[in-house]
Structure 1
Amino acid sequence: WQEMRWLLVQRAADHDQIDLELLNLRQEIVVRRLDLTVVRQSGWEGDALERLGLGLYRPRLPPVIGSVSASSAAQAAGLQSGDEVLEIDGEPIDSWADLVSVVRRSPGQTLQMDVLRQGLRQQLTVRPSAVDDRGREIGRIGASVRDGGEAREQLMITVRYGPVSALGKALGETWDKSAFTLVMIGRMITGEVSWRNISGPVTIADYAGQSAKLGLDYYLKFLALVSISLGVLNLLPIPILDGGHLLYYLVEIIKRGPVSERTMEIGQQIGLAFLIMLMAFAFYNDINRLFSG
């Protein structure tokens, strides 16, 4: 799934459509054409696959409460770990997805929830809190599903490489992500990609924490992605960065003489102004994401 996500994002940068070869439930190979222009039209904001209408298959989980957050709507209603939700306002709840669907579309509304607790049926009143989700108001009760780890583990695939093949794979991914970063920087300059995609230390720390919760391999991969992005940025031909020094060396080779101190001073000022502007954008985006949720 991760590989497909990355390939679709890459293709969306310079293709309007792409053909997907699929194996359907009848074990037949079918070809479906996917419109990629919606990704570029969104300014590359948000999840590209979500913009394309694609989502990862999720195993069916029973509507059993795993944990309840403190000071949440679920706690106020008296929900407890182990409760199985049977109905909400008379609507049968057969899976956790059904429960989430009803709660999300009912922000601030009073719901009658029938649960099965230790073999006894009880009715509770819950009022989902209204939260903002990318400009849309949805409901949440602050409860999580009972661990569905076993179902998830059955869908997980671990791909392992030998030392030599791993090195080749790492070099290939580094090249691909470096080239894609340059393409995105170019499109930000031309206005095709929103500057809201720039992230600062707050967002990086948030994503680092999320990746660490998923496991060491996810965390290391995230650190590698950050390192590649910083490396590409550092090599841009901007005075004050390493790429700026390389630019000066190139100018000296062409003119066969050193760059004047005045030129270097002006270049340093321009480079510093650019970095300050970039940091300001990053902090603004971080704060905006923090308060908008």
Structure 2
Amino acid sequence: MTLFTTILAFLCSLGPLIIFHELGHYTVARLCGVKVLRFSLGFGKVIWSRRFGADQTEWVISILPLGGYVRMLDDRDPGTRALSEADQAREYTRKSVWQRIAIVAAGPVANFLLAIAVFGGLYMVGMDEIGTRVRGMEASTPAYQAGLRGGDRIVAVNGAPVATYAELRWETLKAVLDKGGVRFDVAQQGGARYSATLPPAALAGKNVEGDLLGELGISTFLSPVTIGKIPDPAGPAGRAGMQPGDRVLSIDGQAVPDGAALMKLVGQSCGRTLQFVIERGGRSLSLTVTPELNKATNISRINAQIISSPEMVKVTLGPLDAIAAGAATTWQQSVMSLKMIGKMVTGQVSLANLTGVVTIADYAGKTARLGPIEFLSFIAVVSVSLGVMNLLPIPVLDGGLLLYYSLEVLTGRPLPGRIVELAQYAGMALLVMLMGLALFNDVNRLTQPAPTPPANTYIRCPND
């Protein structure tokens, strides 16, 4: 069932994005007076086709649903050459260079417009997101040394307001990529305000590919610990007499403010008996719990569900503000994608970050199981990525064609056919290599062992 959900979610996410992209090309081509012969979802063998409209455009579904194309009258292709005088006026290469630029650019632009519409719609409906209140941090972390304190709420990063943890991470990531410092504007619970500044030196060498905020010592505020389900009555929690709904107050005399603190204390026990103080029905009780150690994973546990949720905020905007926020989010993600690509090209970021259809399918399935809001957010993100990818100046992509036409605008004449042909071969080879690398990264990511969880986040026994 999980595999079926993943495949269905992948098709339901990528399919509409491809259709929307190709509809951009199709619509502008028709507006420019170009005759469209075929609109295809997918490549390869045609498995369904119908003809519609005055031009009897063929609408088809092909066997490989990993892209699509719009075939127009084009004298460069013997199979689509304009034969009649009427058709010659509607042939693609006879249109002005600006019309050809508009037709090619319409595909990526359609993806950006779709992302703006989806993001904007989500902001209008309202999205529950993790807030910017931070939990307590170690004194050795850069954030603590800069003056940030647990329980306070970050309200701006370098002057840019932030209301959600995602915005906080985004603005911090931008500052790190720009090799600048970070100034956090912070609000305390009583209303007082202060600033905590991290200089560029404190950010140097931080991993932009992983948990950047975690490396700085920043993590989201969590609610006090409540015990959820106890799956095995014979497990440590069950034997000790724990019950669902118990609130954990302390362990061995140390206060337990949230789930992360509980996991750290249990992880450090390595099977040693612990004294839990819990609250049940308004009374405090003391329970003796001996965590069990899984020798295969070196992780200890009490075998109970730990409920400790992040603080959530609901972001709801009016129509105009929502569309503006959607446009801003789309722009930010596009810029960040280009920066990441640039850093991969220059070697500043590992090529292991390049992902392909397998990872897209995996995340499509995961977000679909989380709910419609998460799934639609994922679709918008992929739409932005699809638009950015197609604008890269690689022959055979839209960006490659835009590069040709830009040179035509500058020189006043089209590039020689032989140069275009050689560029197409080189572009195809590069694209195949990138797809192969992305597939390798996808498979490697899914098959490699899970990374060792950090002791301050998961229940883990340190090695002797």
State the TM bucket, normalised to the shorter chain. 0.7 to 0.9
Kept in 1, the 8 Å contact 2:236–2:289? The answer is no
> Aligned pair 1:58/2:232, yes or no?
no
Which of 377, 387, 391 is matched with 1:221 structurally?
377
Provide the secondary structure at the position in 1 that maps to 2:386. helix
After superposition, the Cα gap between the structure-2 partners of 1:160 and 1:92, relative to the gap in structure 1 and judged at 3 Å, is closer
- Which residue number corresponds to residue 71 of structure 1? none
Which of 386, 409, 422 is matched with 1:230 structurally?
386
> Aligned pair 1:82/2:243, yes or no?
yes
User: Within 5 A, what are the aligned runs for 1:107-122?
Assistant: 109-112=270-273
* Cα distance, 1:241 vs structure 2: 0.5
> Aligned pair 1:193/2:356, yes or no?
no
User: Within 5 A, what are the aligned runs for 1:85-104?
Assistant: 94=256, 96-104=259-267
Provide the secondary structure at the position in 2 that maps to 1:19. strand
Whole-Å separation in 2 of the counterparts to 1:222 and 1:274:
27
- Which residue number corresponds to residue 274 of structure 1? 430
Whole-Å separation in 1 of the counterparts to 2:213 and 2:339:
19
Which of 192, 197, 206 is matched with 1:28 structurally?
192
* Cα distance, 1:32 vs structure 2: 0.9
Structure 2 unaligned spans of 5+: 1-164, 451-464
* Cα distance, 1:223 vs structure 2: 1.5
> Aligned pair 1:251/2:407, yes or no?
yes
Provide the secondary structure at the position in 2 that maps to 1:20. strand
* Cα distance, 1:251 vs structure 2: 2.5
Whole-Å separation in 2 of the counterparts to 1:261 and 1:140:
67
* Cα distance, 1:234 vs structure 2: 0.6
Which structure: larger Rg? 2
Whole-Å separation in 2 of the counterparts to 1:28 and 1:120:
38
Structure 1 unaligned spans of 5+: 69-73, 132-136
Q: TM-score, normalised on structure 1?
A: 0.76
Whole-Å separation in 1 of the counterparts to 2:195 and 2:177:
21
Cα RMSD, aligned residues only: 3.6
- Which residue number corresponds to residue 134 of structure 1? none
Whole-Å separation in 2 of the counterparts to 1:213 and 1:141:
28
Task: Output one character per residue of 1:197-237: Cα deviation in whole Å (capped at 9) or x when no partner.
Answer: 22233333343344344432232122211110121011111
After superposition, the Cα gap between the structure-2 partners of 1:260 and 1:4, relative to the gap in structure 1 and judged at 3 Å, is same
Higher deviation after alignment, 263-272 or 279-288: 279-288
Kept in 2, the 8 Å contact 1:43–1:194? The answer is no
Whole-Å separation in 2 of the counterparts to 1:98 and 1:226:
36
- Which residue number corresponds to residue 144 of structure 1? 305
**Bigger relative contact order (CA 8 A; separation at least 6):** 2
Kept in 2, the 8 Å contact 1:103–1:128? The answer is no
After superposition, the Cα gap between the structure-2 partners of 1:4 and 1:112, relative to the gap in structure 1 and judged at 3 Å, is same
Provide the secondary structure at the position in 2 that maps to 1:191. coil
Which of 444, 449, 464 is matched with 1:292 structurally?
449
Q: TM-score, normalised on structure 2?
A: 0.51
After superposition, the Cα gap between the structure-2 partners of 1:39 and 1:47, relative to the gap in structure 1 and judged at 3 Å, is farther
> Aligned pair 1:14/2:178, yes or no?
yes
Kept in 2, the 8 Å contact 1:89–1:111? The answer is no
Provide the secondary structure at the position in 2 that maps to 1:238. coil
Higher deviation after alignment, 26-35 or 238-247: 26-35
- Which residue number corresponds to residue 168 of structure 2? 4
- Which residue number corresponds to residue 323 of structure 2? 167
* Cα distance, 1:33 vs structure 2: 0.7
Kept in 1, the 8 Å contact 2:271–2:291? The answer is yes
Kept in 1, the 8 Å contact 2:291–2:302? The answer is no
- Which residue number corresponds to residue 363 of structure 2? 207
After superposition, the Cα gap between the structure-2 partners of 1:200 and 1:51, relative to the gap in structure 1 and judged at 3 Å, is farther
- Which residue number corresponds to residue 314 of structure 2? 158
- Which residue number corresponds to residue 292 of structure 2? 126
* Cα distance, 1:17 vs structure 2: 0.9
AA aligned opposite 1:176: Q
* Cα distance, 1:35 vs structure 2: 4.0
Task: Give 1 or 2: higher helix fraction.
Answer: 1
AA aligned opposite 2:350: S
User: Within 5 A, what are the aligned runs for 1:31-50?
Assistant: 31-35=195-199, 41-50=205-214
AA aligned opposite 1:286: D
AA aligned opposite 1:145: I
